[in-house]
């Protein structure tokens, strides 16, 4: 039973056929020989795309992070001889979460720091390399998922594709805010995997000088942070960020409090970081760690991303905004983008059973839900009112037929994904880095995240990056169109070209664009022009992604919050405020708040 499950984990029955026999592909690295397996790529009705891929699965890049290596930086794996790399490795410990129409592997184990390498048999010598960093809010996910086989992208893009697993949740991001448990272990795992690619990819026919990394959601934030980490300089030449960057709201909770609270839940109530670490390294029941981080911490601190990257002074020397201001950004060409309906992500959790039609949210329900969506913006009432004014339809307010779903969705998506991407693109450009921007407005025929009313939801670009419209799903529940097949192929080639040439438009440095390609050539982003590619089958260009909304969030709202906070401080500190709340205008001015009188 286990053998059957493992053999089907990566490969779609309609498109991939595993080759059995004595002719297993192999490569020879400095450590020893790695033996893989061959996949025949056979998308139905598309003979022009047929090919074969040599897959090397479950290659360990680090020692198992157990015992004294738990909650410590990763240690490069030492091995010799022959490594059988025909089966995928373990995903890192995480809660079992249904991922829409996708089927992640659920045999979790701490011995999970592995990567997979997919090499098309027709790939050229010194091939370009794409390295994928998965998302999942830093608490779930895995590098390779059955229905999104990286082999498709490798064949269509004519590149070597590498995926990786990295530590998640408390095991990957717990921090005591000091050198004992500094945190960022999952990010250090990613960095070590990238160093493995640098040191070993030539054995697979790859060029370590032509590597691009890409990720979605938390994987996209990770790509951004690798761009800011001094230890990652020179490990890649391209960076692709799909819906996530360090300006996105993550955790504002005191990480040290979270660490000691988790220790208490696990029977490790201790006084010092050293004592806490020693106790946590001895906890044998991994399920109890996962349950405590998901349920126990949520009860104490509320739901949210409590375990996330931190400024540790080493991997991440300073706050991203400070590093941006200094131009301390690694040298790489970037693609930075987001989707038109990112905020629908929240509704998949609020209405998990609403599969037929979009939920109806009236004005009162909007006000009730706003704290859930808008508290990450500000709890100031004036800010909430400004956001509601900005996003609700002025021709339909408070009426019984007014649906506020789109208002909540767009507000949440713009604040969390679209407008932070605008900040990042501007910062990279001002630091002299080349940036290409995209905005996916295409409403997919089928969503991997749920029902059709989710539109271009968070993560819906992933099927196009991994070629799902070309191959469908095993259960035949992923209908698509020829336009979407064309869109997927174009997207894969854009991503692959960035690794090949540093330009998504060019597959080789001596290539020339056709007349048709010139008409839709993806322009560089500039602060003056705000150019971007509209990710649809037509791949047209545009200017100013949500420019009005992003000025609102990136410029006006911070000023409004400061004004509200200054007014509150002024009111609290002035001894001349009267009982009814009126003020002495000469005492409290917009330029100067009164000092608290000394007793």
Tell me the average pLDDT across 443-459: 92
Whether residue 107 is found in the same domain as residue 36 = yes
442 an active-site residue?
no
- Check residue 98 and give its pLDDT: 76
> Last residue of a domain, which of 498, 515, 544?
544
Provide the residue range defining the domain that includes 554: 546-599
Question: In angstroms, rounded to a whole number, what is the distance separating the alpha carbons of residues 526 and 434?
Answer: 9
- Check residue 474 and give its pLDDT: 66
The structural domain count of the chain equals 2
Question: Per-residue pLDDT tens for 458-507?
Answer: 999 999 999 999 988 766 678 899 999 999 999 999 999 999 999 999 99
- Within 13 Å and on the Cβ side, how many CA atoms surround 329? 28
Share of the chain above pLDDT 70, in %: 89
Instruction: Please state the φ and ψ torsions of residue 306, each to the nearest 5 degrees.
Output: -90, -20
Whether residue 160 is found in the same domain as residue 195 = yes
Choosing from 217, 248, 273, 363, the catalytic residue is 217
Question: In angstroms, rounded to a whole number, what is the distance separating the alpha carbons of residues 257 and 161?
Answer: 39
Question: In angstroms, rounded to a whole number, what is the distance separating the alpha carbons of residues 188 and 209?
Answer: 21
Choosing from 110, 216, 342, 461, the catalytic residue is 342
Per the structure block, which two tokens stand in for 233? Answer: 């300089």
Whether residue 489 is found in the same domain as residue 560 = no
Whether residue 563 is found in the same domain as residue 595 = yes
Question: pLDDT: is 370 or 434 the higher one?
Answer: 434
Whether residue 573 is found in the same domain as residue 472 = no
Whether residue 111 is found in the same domain as residue 72 = yes
- 369 part of a folded domain: no
Whether residue 517 is found in the same domain as residue 563 = no
Give the residues across from 160 on adjacent strands.
129
3-state secondary structure 26-80: EEECCCEEEECEEEEECCCCCHHHCEEEEEEEEEECECCCCHHHCCCCCCECCCC
User: Residue 118, class by beta-carbon neighbours within 10 Å (0-12 exposed, 13-18 middle, 19+ buried)?
Assistant: buried
Residue pair 150/118 in contact (Cβ under 8 Å)? The answer is yes
Question: Per-residue pLDDT tens for 352-409?
Answer: 776 778 888 888 888 888 877 777 788 888 998 899 899 988 888 777 888 999 999 9
Helix axes of 363-374 and 381-391: crossing angle, nearest 10 degrees: 120
Tell me the average pLDDT across 204-210: 98
Kindly provide the b/e burial profile for residues 61-93, where b requires at least 16 CB atoms within 10 angstroms of the residue's own CB. Answer: bbebbeeebbbbbbeebeeeeebebbebbbbbb
- Within 13 Å and on the Cβ side, how many CA atoms surround 430? 15
Tell me the average pLDDT across 441-468: 94
Question: In angstroms, rounded to a whole number, what is the distance separating the alpha carbons of residues 80 and 453?
Answer: 52
217 an active-site residue?
yes
Which of the four pLDDT bands, split at 50, 70 and 90, describes residue 584? very low
Whether residue 103 is found in the same domain as residue 235 = yes
Choosing from 247, 255, 442, 458, the catalytic residue is 458
Coil vs helix vs strand at 212: strand
- Check residue 16 and give its pLDDT: 55
458 an active-site residue?
yes
Assign residue 512 the CATH number of its domain.
3.40.50.1820
Whether residue 119 is found in the same domain as residue 227 = yes
429 Cβ partners below 8 Å, 6+ apart?
435, 525, 526, 527
Tell me the average pLDDT across 241-265: 84
Residue pair 62/114 in contact (Cβ under 8 Å)? The answer is no
Residue pair 102/148 in contact (Cβ under 8 Å)? The answer is yes
Coil vs helix vs strand at 434: coil
Measured between alpha carbons, how far is residue 98 from residues 105, 106, 244 in Å?
11, 10, 21
Regarding beta strands 32-35 and 81-84, do their DSSP bridges make them parallel or antiparallel, or are they unpaired? parallel
Whether residue 318 is found in the same domain as residue 465 = yes
Whether residue 510 is found in the same domain as residue 575 = no
- Check residue 201 and give its pLDDT: 98
Per the structure block, which two tokens stand in for 433? Answer: 């880095």
Question: In angstroms, rounded to a whole number, what is the distance separating the alpha carbons of residues 145 and 167?
Answer: 17
- 93 part of a folded domain: yes
- 293 part of a folded domain: no
Whether residue 453 is found in the same domain as residue 501 = yes
Question: What is the rounded radius of gyration, in angstroms, for the C-alpha atoms of the chain?
Answer: 25
């Amino acid at each position: 039973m286990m053998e059957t499950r493992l053999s089907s984990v990566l490969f779609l029955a309609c498109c991939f056929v595993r080759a059995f026999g004595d002719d297993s592909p192999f490569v020879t690295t400095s450590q020893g020989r790695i033996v893989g397996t061959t996949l025949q790529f056979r998308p139905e009705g598309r003979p022009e795309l047929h090919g074969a891929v040599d897959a090397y699965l479950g290659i360990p890049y680090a020692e198992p992070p157990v015992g004294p290596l738990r909650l410590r930086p990763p240690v490069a794996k030492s091995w010799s001889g022959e490594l059988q790399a025909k089966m995928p490795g373990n995903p890192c410990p995480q809660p079992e979460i249904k991922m829409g129409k996708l089927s992640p592997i659920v045999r979790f184990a701490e011995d999970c720091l592995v990567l997979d390498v997919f090499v098309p048999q027709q790939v050229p010598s010194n091939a370009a390399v794409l390295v994928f960093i998965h998302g999942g809010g830093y608490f779930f996910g895995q590098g390779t998922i059955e229905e999104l086989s990286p082999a498709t992208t490798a064949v269509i893009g004519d590149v070597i594709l590498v995926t990786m697993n990295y530590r998640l949740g408390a095991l990957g991001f717990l921090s005591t805010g000091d050198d004992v448990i500094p945190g960022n272990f999952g990010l250090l795992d990613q960095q070590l995997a990238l160093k493995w690619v640098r040191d070993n990819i030539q054995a697979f026919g790859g060029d370590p000088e032509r590597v691009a990394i890409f990720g979605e959601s938390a994987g996209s934030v990770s790509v951004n942070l690798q761009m800011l980490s001094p230890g990652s300089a020179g490990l890649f030449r391209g960076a692709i960020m799909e819906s996530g960057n360090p300006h996105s709201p993550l955790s504002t909770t005191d990480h040290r409090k979270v660490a000691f609270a988790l220790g208490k839940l696990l029977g490790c109530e201790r006084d010092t970081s050293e004592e806490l670490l020693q106790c946590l390294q001895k906890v044998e029941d991994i399920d109890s760690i996962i349950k405590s981080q998901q349920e126990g911490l949520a009860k104490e601190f509320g739901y949210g991303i409590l375990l996330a990257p931190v400024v540790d002074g080493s991997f991440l020397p300073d706050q991203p905004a400070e590093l941006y201001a200094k131009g301390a950004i690694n040298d790489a060409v970037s693609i930075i983008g987001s989707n038109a309906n990112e905020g629908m992500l929240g509704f998949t959790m609020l209405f998990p059973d609403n599969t037929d039609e979009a939920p109806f949210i009236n004005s009162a329900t909007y006000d009730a839900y706003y704290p859930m969506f808008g508290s990450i913006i500000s709890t100031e009432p004036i800010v909430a009112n400004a956001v509601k004014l900005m996003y609700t339809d002025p021709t339909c307010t408070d009426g019984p037929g007014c649906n506020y779903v789109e208002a909540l969705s767009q507000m949440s998506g713009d604040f969390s994904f679209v407008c932070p991407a605008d900040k990042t693109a501007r910062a990279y450009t001002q630091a002299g880095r080349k940036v290409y921007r995209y905005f996916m407005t295409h409403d997919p025929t089928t969503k991997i995240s749920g029902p059709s009313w989710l539109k271009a939801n968070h993560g819906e670009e992933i099927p196009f990056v991994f070629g799902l419209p070309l191959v469908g799903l095993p259960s035949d529940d992923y209908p698509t169109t020829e336009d979407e097949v064309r869109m997927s192929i174009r997207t894969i080639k854009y991503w692959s070209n960035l690794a090949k040439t540093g330009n998504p438009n060019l597959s080789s440095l001596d290539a020339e664009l056709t007349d048709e390609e010139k008409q839709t050539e993806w322009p560089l982003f500039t602060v003056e022009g705000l150019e971007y590619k509209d990710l649809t089958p037509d791949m047209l260009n545009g200017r100013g992604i949500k420019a009005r909304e992003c000025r609102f969030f990136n410029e006006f709202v911070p000023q409004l919050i400061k004004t509200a906070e200054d007014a509150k401080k002024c009111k609290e500190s002035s001894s001349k405020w009267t009982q009814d709340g009126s003020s002495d205008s000469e005492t409290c001015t917009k330029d100067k708040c009164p000092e608290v009188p000394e007793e």
